[in-house]
Amino acid sequence: MKKAILLILSLIIVGAIIYNLYPEKELPLHTEIDYILVKKSDRQLLAYSKQKLVKTYEISLGDNPVGHKEYEGDEKTPEGIYTINAKNPNSGYHKNLGISYPNAKDMAKAKLLGKNPGGDIKIHGLRNRLGFIGKFQRFLDWTNGCMALTDSEVDELYDSVKIGTKIEIRS
């Protein structure tokens, strides 16, 4: 019985290592992403070039992902149409792409609630020095409202997305 349990645990560990290290399809070289669609309920970020889907990424979201972000600290990922408005190669979470949240509508809603709308919504990688977690980060929603990818996936998007690129975030 002990040997069977050890064998099963060994297989689980080997399977987990293979899952985390198995390479995924990369974007073709020199691909220019001109539209990003995020489907929160599917935990997917879809990257388009010239109206053609070129890659689908699995993402993690905010701790409380259902519904549109209304104020700072609600742990929600916003919904709506925004743009990529910044690129930071020196982020505390590997690299990141900034999202233009909050817009005027978001600010007005937060004001009605008597709250700060927040900001700093990003597409980012893992916290610096934790990149080894890799694909395991997908198992939980752990951000404060951002969209998280593996470090290598963020590198890929970072190189392929220009400031001003449209991003649509749906429920």
Rounded average pLDDT over 43-61: 97
The verdict on residue 18 lying in a domain is no
What's residue 85's pLDDT?
Answer: 98
pLDDT in tens, 93-129: 999 999 999 999 999 999 999 999 998 999 999 999 9
SS3 of residue 118 by DSSP:
coil
> Which residue bears the tokens 């293979």?
18
What's residue 9's pLDDT?
Answer: 79
Q: Could you tell me which residues come within 8 angstroms of residue 44 by beta carbon, excluding any fewer than 6 positions away?
A: 38, 56, 57, 58, 59
What pTM, to 2 d.p., does this model score? 0.89
The verdict on residue 8 lying in a domain is no
Look up the domain containing 82 and give its range: 26-170
What's residue 18's pLDDT?
Answer: 77
The verdict on residue 10 lying in a domain is no
The answer, yes or no, to whether residue 14 has pLDDT greater than 80, is no
What's residue 55's pLDDT?
Answer: 97
Q: For residue 102, say if its preceding peptide bond is cis, omega within 30 degrees of 0.
A: yes
Q: How many domains does the chain divide into?
A: 1
* 30 catalytic per annotation: no
* 146 catalytic per annotation: yes
Which residues face 86 on adjacent strands?
Answer: 98
The verdict on residue 103 lying in a domain is yes
Residue of 30, 68, 94, 146 marked active site: 146
The verdict on residue 11 lying in a domain is no
The verdict on residue 21 lying in a domain is no
Q: What is the mean pLDDT of the chain?
A: 93
User: What are the φ and ψ backbone dihedral angles of 90, each rounded to 5 degrees?
Assistant: -120, 35
Which residues face 87 on adjacent strands?
Answer: 97
The verdict on residue 65 lying in a domain is yes
Q: What is the CATH number of the domain that holds 81?
A: 2.40.440.10
The answer, yes or no, to whether residue 15 has pLDDT greater than 80, is no
Q: Could you tell me which residues come within 8 angstroms of residue 92 by beta carbon, excluding any fewer than 6 positions away?
A: 127, 128
Tally of residues, the chain = 171
SS3 of residue 8 by DSSP:
helix
